[in-house]
Amino acid sequence: MKQILWNRKTRYRPYTSWSQHHIDQLRAHVATSPWRTQNHIQPFTGLLNDPCAFNYFNGKWHLFYQQYPYGPVHGLKSWHHLTSSDLVTWQDSQGQLLPGGKYDSHGVYTGSGYVEGSTLHLVYTGNVRDKFWNRHSYQMDAILNTENQVFKTSQPMIASVPVGYTNEFRDPYVFDYKKQRYCLVGSQTQNRKGTILLYKQTSHDFWQFRGHIQLPQVLTGYMVECPNIAFVDGHVVLIYCPQGLSRDVLPYENIYPNIAVIADDIDLVNRKLIGKVSVQQLDDGFEFYAARVTDAPDGRRLLISWIGLPEVNSPTERYGWAHCLSYVRTLHVRDHHLCLSPCKELNKLLSKHQQQNNASTITFNNLCGTAEIALKVQADQQICIKLHASDSTPLKVLIDTSIGKTVISRLTSHGFFEQRTGCFPAQKNIDLRLFIDESVFECFVDDGFLCMSGRFYPSAQPQSVIIECIKEIPCIDCWNLERSNDIR
């Protein structure tokens, strides 16, 4: 297909100026791509980034993700709408939140949703660039009705940046606490420190600025993106992306981290965390960013994330698309640590069960691109799980329970391995679940105490997995996963 020179002009062309022919050609190009997923949310064409509104509304799950559909680059962003009745099979909807208004001329940026009566509010950042390419950010409130139609409002819900902060002011997250409605906004102070701002809804259309959440400065880097708050198992969990966080605070290995700050409680009047405060990464794998949390009607706290990172390219771009979302995860706090385990609905996709017992070398074949490998690992055990695709090993997972360490290595397109390391309590029995979906892996150690996810780019579809251990494993299970997305 015709090469497009991606520059400011082409990236910000109005959607209406792109022809159907361009989209048709791009779709045909994407159809030739290896690495398309079978059950992770991926874009039809172009680039997918942050999950935005993720809410249970009108008897269904609704999820909007941010996208640029005309090429695999960060261009003029919009939100794309999906619905689901089970969190694993997603239907495409006609509803889209499109840019182009006075307050979102240069993109519909990240945000969240909240339900009020028979509407789902879609709260987002309107991104505007002026003629000098200076950024202006407005927090906007659109609505989705029960017919899945989107209506934008003409005025911002928060029209200006409070004094003392820069125009890096975005990603509103609305939540209810003690019968009051609040909004968090990711932001930056004039002296370039990251911060999370708090607003309170004091009347139907007025959000009052209350100040910033008082967090130790070492925890906020130079800019905070995508803040969330979740009330989990009697704890308060702030989840956000502190760009520029010092690696002395958390030894993360990616360009930017996505972290959880766990406290016993929060005082929203004084905007202070209460009691013990601990900090961790959400996921220690290669790509995990812009996670979004939500409440399920059955009381669970759920999370979904972008399996991608800002400023990081993907080899799929040469086929006209980039990135995907994670599986939905359930949140729990155990010993002041946030555990993220795959949502139970994923079990619905499991098929073609294979099992092996009492062996120290185990092979499972016929994966056809997808698998869940599940086992209990005893204390003082060392296991190596190698995925095979044609004659190469694109992914290796090493687990050593004697020292509480997991090392995941992936083969890069340059033929060498790069790795990520994660830690968990040593010297105990743990369970392990490793999911493979064509070019995505998600690994859960000790019921989600440690999660490691990312992409890998095999030279052919993954077909077999070999597990080697120093001691016999009593029982190991393997399933295929049914295809659950229609986005081919």
Residues 11, 62, 77, 106: which binds ligand FRU (CB under 6 A)?
77
* CA atoms within 13 A of residue 475's CA, in its CB half-sphere: 4
Q: Taking a C-beta distance cutoff of 8 angstroms, is the pair 31, 23 a contact?
A: no
Residues 36, 50, 279, 323: which binds ligand FRU (CB under 6 A)?
50
Nearer to ligand FRU, 141 or 225 (CB): 225
β-pairing, 46-57 with 321-322? parallel
CB neighbourhood size of 424 (10 A): 18
Residues 67, 78, 125, 195: which binds ligand FRU (CB under 6 A)?
125
Residues 101, 310, 315, 425: which binds ligand FRU (CB under 6 A)?
310
Contact status: 225 vs ligand FRU (CB under 6 A): yes
| Closest CB 77 distance from ligand FRU, rounded Å | 5
Q: Which two tokens stand for residue 81?
A: 């709408």
Q: How far apart are CA 469 and CA 330, in angstroms?
A: 30
Residues 11, 36, 40, 170: which binds ligand FRU (CB under 6 A)?
170
Contact status: 439 vs ligand FRU (CB under 6 A): no
Residue for token pair 């939540």 = 175
Residues 55, 66, 139, 406: which binds ligand FRU (CB under 6 A)?
66
| Closest CB 7 distance from ligand FRU, rounded Å | 18
Q: How far apart are CA 454 and CA 326, in angstroms?
A: 9
| Closest CB 5 distance from ligand FRU, rounded Å | 21
Contact status: 49 vs ligand FRU (CB under 6 A): yes
Q: For residue 70, report the phi and psi dihedrals to the nearest 5 degrees.
A: -95, 0
Contact status: 110 vs ligand FRU (CB under 6 A): yes
Q: Is 86 a catalytic residue?
A: no
Nearer to ligand FRU, 221 or 404 (CB): 221
Catalytic residue of the set 50, 104, 171, 446: 50
Q: What is the DSSP letter of 255?
A: S
Q: Which two tokens stand for residue 7?
A: 């520059």
Residues 171, 283, 284, 438: which binds ligand FRU (CB under 6 A)?
171
Burial class (CB in 10 A: 0-12, 13-18, 19+), 328: buried
Nearer to ligand FRU, 35 or 79 (CB): 79
Residues 140, 238, 290, 432: which binds ligand FRU (CB under 6 A)?
290
Q: Which two tokens stand for residue 228?
A: 């969330």
Q: How far apart are CA 380 and CA 384, in angstroms?
A: 14
Q: How far apart are CA 439 and CA 2, in angstroms?
A: 26
Q: Which two tokens stand for residue 416?
A: 């060498």
Contact status: 109 vs ligand FRU (CB under 6 A): yes
Nearer to ligand FRU, 138 or 289 (CB): 289
Nearer to ligand FRU, 62 or 170 (CB): 170
Nearer to ligand FRU, 170 or 388 (CB): 170
Q: What is the DSSP letter of 320?
A: T
Nearer to ligand FRU, 258 or 381 (CB): 258
| Closest CB 256 distance from ligand FRU, rounded Å | 9
What number of residues does the chain have? Answer: 488
Burial class (CB in 10 A: 0-12, 13-18, 19+), 349: buried
Nearer to ligand FRU, 226 or 478 (CB): 226
Q: Which two tokens stand for residue 456?
A: 């890998």
CB contact set of 238 (below 8 Å; sequence gap of 6+): 196, 213, 215, 227, 228, 229, 260, 261, 263, 273
Strand locations in 29-169 (E):
46-57, 60-68, 78-84, 91-97, 108-116, 119-129, 135-144, 150-151
| Closest CB 306 distance from ligand FRU, rounded Å | 7
Contact status: 286 vs ligand FRU (CB under 6 A): no
| Closest CB 271 distance from ligand FRU, rounded Å | 21
Dihedral (CA of 156, 82, 53, 319) sign: negative
| Closest CB 52 distance from ligand FRU, rounded Å | 9
Contact status: 292 vs ligand FRU (CB under 6 A): no
| Closest CB 287 distance from ligand FRU, rounded Å | 12
Contact status: 53 vs ligand FRU (CB under 6 A): no
Residues known to be catalytic: 50
Write out the residues near ligand FRU by the rule CB under 6 A: 49-50, 66, 77, 109-110, 125, 170-171, 225-226, 289-290, 310
